[in-house]
Amino acid sequence: MKGALLIVRKELLELRRSPVLLLSMTSLPATVVVVPVLLLAWLVRAAPTQALDWLQDLYKVPASSPTAALVAVLAKNWLPMFLVLPIFLPILLAAQSIGGERERRTLEPLLATPVSTLEIIIGKSVAALVPALAITWIASALFCAGVDAAVWTRLHAFPLPDGPWLFATLVLSPLLSLFGNALAVVVSARIVDPRAAQNVAATTVVPLLGLLVIQLAGGISLGPGFYLGFALGALVADVALIALAVRLFDREKLLTRWR
Amino acid sequence: MLAIEVRSLGKSFGKRRACWDLSFEIARGEVFGLLGPNGAGKTTTLRMLAGLYAPDQGSGTVAGLDLVTGGAALRRKVGLLTESPGFYGRLGARENLLFFAGLYGVSKRDALLRAARLLERFALASHADRPFAELSRGMKQKLAIARALIHEPEVILLDEPTVGLDPEATREVRTLIEELAREQRTLVLCTHHLAEVERLCSRAAFVAGRLIGVHKIEHAQQGRVRIELAAAHAAAALRAAELGPLRLAEQGKVLLLTPRCEIPEAVAALVAVGARIVAVSPDRDPLEDAYLQLLAEARALGLAGDEPGAVL
C-alpha cells in the first residue's frame, strides 16, 4: 500500500497548492455555518415571542421555551445540509481523480508504473475523503459552537450536539463521504471530462436537498428512524459502488476511452 | 542476450486493428528505431512493450518477462517516455521525480540521490523547485526523460521524444538520447525523424499496421558523394584513380565516394579513367531510401495510410 500512501500525499500537496479548489471546498460549508447561526442570534435577540411560538407550532417541536424550540427547529431542519457536505465535498476532488489525470496527460505515466489498480483507487479515495470529512466535521463543530453561543444567555445550556446530530456527524458523514467519493470515481472512470464527471456526480445531492426543502416547508419530519435507514442504505450503496469502481477501473480502457 | 523479443504481436481496439504480425528481437544494449507513418501502430506497440496494453495476438517478452503476465514486475523494468511529458503542474520538478520514483519502488534515499543526479545531468538543477507548469517545453521533455531513467530500468522506450520541440530543445533532447545510446542502454526510439534514427540506432523496424521490415542502418559517412554513372563500371578501374574510399552500388551504376580532393577534381579524375558521369550529389540517407521504398510497397498493398489502424 506504499503506492496508495504516495498518491494520498501527492494529492494533498496539490490540494494545498490549489487556492481556488480550497476556496470552492470551504465556501459552501462556511455559508452553511455562518448564515443560520447569524439568523439564530438575531432571532434570539430581536424576534417577537409570537413569531417563536408560531415556529414551535408549525414544526410541532416539544420544548421548554420558545428559544429551546427555535434551536430544536434549526437543528432538525438544518441537519440534512450537513449530510449534503460529506457527499458534495469529495465529489469536488474525486471527480477530478481520473479525468483530471487524463486531462493533464499524467494518466499514462501513472499507469506505466508498477502501482496497482487498487492502490490508485485507495490513494485517490483517501485523498478525497480526508479533507472532505475534516471540513464537514470542522463545519459541524463550528455550527454547534455557534448555536450554543447564540442561545447561551437565554438557555444557560449547550443544546448541540444532540443525539441525532452526533449520529449524523460521526456515523452518517463518513458513510456518505465514501458514497460521494466512490460515485465520483465510478463516474470519473467512465466520463472523460472532469467537469462533466463532477456535474453528473453532484446531481446525487439533489434528492437530499429536496428532502430538506420539503421538511423546511413542514411537509415531512425526518426522525431517528429515517437517519438509521439512511445510514444502512448508504452502507449498502458504498459496498456496491466500491465494487463497481474496482471493476470499472480497467487500466487499458482508461487509456483508450476518449469520449 | 535479448532484451525484447516479440512474435506475431497484435492489438485491436474493438473492430479496429491497431497493429498485427509484429515480430522482432532487440539485443541488450541495442538502440532500436520504430518508424512508420501516423497511425501505423507505433505507440500501441510501445504501450504493449511497456505493459500498458495486453496484446491480443502473439506473444513477447521484455527484460525476460512475459508481456501478458509480466504486470507490475514488467513495468518496473521499463522506463517509458510518453509522447506528452505528463507531470503535475503544481509540484516542483524534483517533487514530481520523487513521486514517480516512489511509485517505481525506489527507496527515498536512493530517489533523492538519483533525482539530484538526473536534474544535474539534464541541466535542471537550478529549476528543481520550480513548479512543473512554469518550465519550458524543452525542460519538461528533459524532465520526462529523467523520469524514464529514475528507477534505472533495463529497457527504455521513447515515444516521439522531440515532437513539438523548438530546434534548440530538439538538439538538447537528441544529445541526451545520444548520451544514453553511448552508455549501451537498451533503447527503443519511436519517431518520425529519420535522421534521429539514423544517427542513434543500429536497426530500425518499419511499421505500417504490420511489420514491413527491419532495416540494418549503415551509418552515412560524412563528406561522401553519390555519383551516378551512365553504365556499370569496374571498381578496379575507378580505384586506380586513387580518389579515396569508394563503394559501387546498384549493379555498379552508383559510386559512393569519399573524395580526398575537391569534387570537380574527383569528377575530372573519374572521367579520365573512363567513367561516364550522369549526376553527382551528396550521399543521400540510405534509411530514407529504404523507408520510402518500404512505405510505397506497403501503400501498394493497402497496408499503410494516414488513418489509424485497419478495420477488421
If you write DSSP's letter for every residue of A140-191 in order, what string do you get?
HHHHHHHHHHHHHHHHSS---S-HHHHHIIIIIHHHHHHHHHHHHHHHHHH-
- pTM for the full predicted model: 0.81
User: How many angstroms away from the CA of A63 is the closest CA of chain B?
Assistant: 53
* C-alpha cell at position A159: 443544546
The Cα–Cα gap between B48 and A108 comes to 12
Check residue B212 and give its pLDDT. 86
Strand partners, A80: none
User: How many angstroms away from the CA of B54 is the closest CA of chain A?
Assistant: 8
Is residue B100 less than 8 Å (CB to CB) from chain A? yes
Flag if B99 and A14 touch (Cβ within 8 Å). Answer: no
Check residue B312 and give its pLDDT. 39
Check residue B284 and give its pLDDT. 61
Q: Which domain holds residue A120?
A: 2-258
Least confident of A30-34, B110-114, B290-294: B290-294
What would you report as the CA-atom Rg of chain B, rounded to the nearest whole angstrom? 23
Can you give the length of chain B in residues?
312
What are residue A31's phi and psi, to 5 degrees? -65, -45
Check residue A181 and give its pLDDT. 86
Average pLDDT, chain B: 86
Q: Which residues fall within 8 angstroms of residue B129, CB to CB, at 6 or more apart?
A: B92, B93, B94
B201 compared with B234, residue with greater pLDDT: B201
B152 compared with B243, residue with greater pLDDT: B152
pLDDT band at B3 (very low <50, low <70, confident <90, very high): very high
Check residue A258 and give its pLDDT. 52
User: How many angstroms away from the CA of B91 is the closest CA of chain A?
Assistant: 7
The Cα–Cα gap between A144 and B111 comes to 47
Flag if A13 and B91 touch (Cβ within 8 Å). Answer: yes
DSSP three-state, residue B312: coil
Closest by Cα among A131, A129, A119, A130 to A246: A119
Helices A224-248, A173-190: crossing angle, 10 deg rounding: 30
Q: Do the interacting molecules here have an ipTM over 0.90?
A: no
What residues of A are in the B interface, CB distance below 8 Å? 2-3, 6, 10, 13-14, 17-18, 104-116, 251-252, 255-256
User: How many angstroms away from the CA of B100 is the closest CA of chain A?
Assistant: 8
Contacts of B91 in chain A (CB under 8 A): 10, 13-14, 17
Q: How many domains does chain A have?
A: 1
Contact present, B175 and B141 (Cβ < 8 Å)? no
Cβ-Cβ contacts under 8 Å between A and B: the total is 76
The answer, yes or no, to whether residue B308 has pLDDT greater than 70, is no
What are the residue ranges in chain A where pLDDT is below 70? Answer: 192, 257-259
The answer, yes or no, to whether residue B310 has pLDDT greater than 60, is no
What's the whole-number mean pLDDT along residues B183-200? Answer: 85
What would you report as the CA-atom Rg of chain A, rounded to the nearest whole angstrom? 21
Contacts of A111 in chain B (CB under 8 A): 52
Is residue B129 less than 8 Å (CB to CB) from chain A? no
A80 compared with B49, residue with greater pLDDT: B49
Is residue B88 less than 8 Å (CB to CB) from chain A? yes
Contacts of B88 in chain A (CB under 8 A): 10, 14, 104, 106
pLDDT band at B152 (very low <50, low <70, confident <90, very high): very high
The answer, yes or no, to whether residue B131 has pLDDT greater than 80, is yes
Closest by Cα among B155, B6, B161 to B82: B161
B180 compared with B283, residue with greater pLDDT: B180
DSSP letter for B191, please. -
The Cα–Cα gap between B86 and B271 comes to 59
Contact present, A82 and A32 (Cβ < 8 Å)? yes
User: How many angstroms away from the CA of A128 is the closest CA of chain B?
Assistant: 17
Flag if B104 and A114 touch (Cβ within 8 Å). Answer: yes
Phi-psi region of B86 (alpha: psi -120 to 50; beta: other; left: phi over 0): left
Flag if B102 and A6 touch (Cβ within 8 Å). Answer: yes
Is residue B81 less than 8 Å (CB to CB) from chain A? no
Out of B85, B89, B103, whose CB is closest to A115?
Answer: B103
Per-position b or e across A105-135, b if 16+ CB within 10 A of its CB: ebbbbbbbbbbeeebbbbbbbbbbbbbbbeb
In Å, the largest CA–CA distance within chain B is: 72
The Cα–Cα gap between B33 and A36 comes to 67
